[in-house]
Amino acid sequence: MLSQSRNPLSNITYCIAMLLVALFTVYVTSCSQEEKAGPPKPRPRRTASGPAQEKKPKIDIHNTVAVIETVKGMIEVEFFADDAPQTVENFIKNARLGYYKNEPFHRVEPQTLIQAGSHMLRDTIPIETSDHKPVRGILVMAKETGATVADASEFFICLDTLELDSEFTMFGKVTKGFDVIDSIKQGDKILTVTLREKG
């Protein structure tokens, strides 16, 4: 008795049909698992600026001292927070962002003033006037001659009583480091500015 051989074409058709059934089964199974798992969770994104930075706590400007570390030593400063709140907040913000780090005292007039600032910041802030006088140790925001706003970064420290010809913002005073401010030469750098609570 002769055995009948299957047609090769029908074998191929059979294999394709079984493959389609298997793929359909896998697809249906994966869909049901996705439904059980719930919607996909979003992936964390990296911004162009890198990982998210930790938010710094708010500082009480009335209870803050700035320590300006220079190549010649430390200068401690207390702020006139009631008389120049916007300027004090601006200075503190600049210090926290590191804008004064490694910046030089680019203007030094012996027995008159020493001036520094940040090349990273070119902006202005309103002038805040008060009854303070530009005497030895007072911090003053710089401004262009005749300007009605102050530079947001440039400040100077009085080495003696100054005659200022217009309104300036006086926002703090040196409490320690008078020998340091007297020793500063043009080009001497601010290494860093740190902030701490009074006391």
The DSSP line for 123-146 is -EEE----S----TTEEEE---TT
Rounded-to-integer distance, Cα 37 and Cα 173, Å = 63
pLDDT at 22: 76
Same domain, 30 and 74: no
Q: Cβ atoms within 10 A of the Cβ of 168, count?
A: 21
> Which regions in the chain score pLDDT beneath 50?
1-3, 39-47
pLDDT at 84: 97
Q: Do 198 and 63 touch, CB atoms closer than 8 A?
A: yes
Pick from 154, 156, 159: which is nearest to 179 by CA?
Answer: 159
Sequence-distant (≥ 6) Cβ neighbours of residue 127 within 8 angstroms = 141, 143, 148, 149, 150, 167, 168, 169
pLDDT at 167: 93
Task: Flag whether 32 is in a domain.
Answer: yes
Prediction pTM value: 0.71
Q: What is the pLDDT of residues 72-111, one digit of tens each?
A: 999 999 999 999 999 999 999 999 999 999 999 999 999 9
H helix runs in the chain, sequence order: 8-37, 85-96, 178-183
Same domain, 21 and 91: no
pLDDT at 154: 96
Task: Flag whether 42 is in a domain.
Answer: no
β-pairing verdict for 124-126 and 107-109: unpaired
Task: Flag whether 2 is in a domain.
Answer: no
Q: Cβ atoms within 10 A of the Cβ of 148, count?
A: 11
Same domain, 26 and 81: no
Domain range enclosing 95? 61-197
Which residues make beta-bridge pairs with 104? 189
Same domain, 84 and 163: yes
Q: What is the CATH number of the domain that holds 84?
A: 2.40.100.10
pLDDT at 135: 98
Same domain, 93 and 164: yes
Same domain, 74 and 124: yes
The structure tokens listed for 116 are 């520094």
Same domain, 32 and 73: no
Q: How far is CA 193 from the centre of its chain?
A: 13
Sequence-distant (≥ 6) Cβ neighbours of residue 143 within 8 angstroms = 127, 149, 150, 151, 154, 168
Rounded-to-integer distance, Cα 173 and Cα 140, Å = 9
What does R_g of the chain's alpha carbons equal in angstroms? 35
Which residues make beta-bridge pairs with 157? 114, 139
Task: Flag whether 45 is in a domain.
Answer: no
Q: How far is CA 180 from the centre of its chain?
A: 28
Rounded-to-integer distance, Cα 70 and Cα 190, Å = 4
Task: Flag whether 152 is in a domain.
Answer: yes
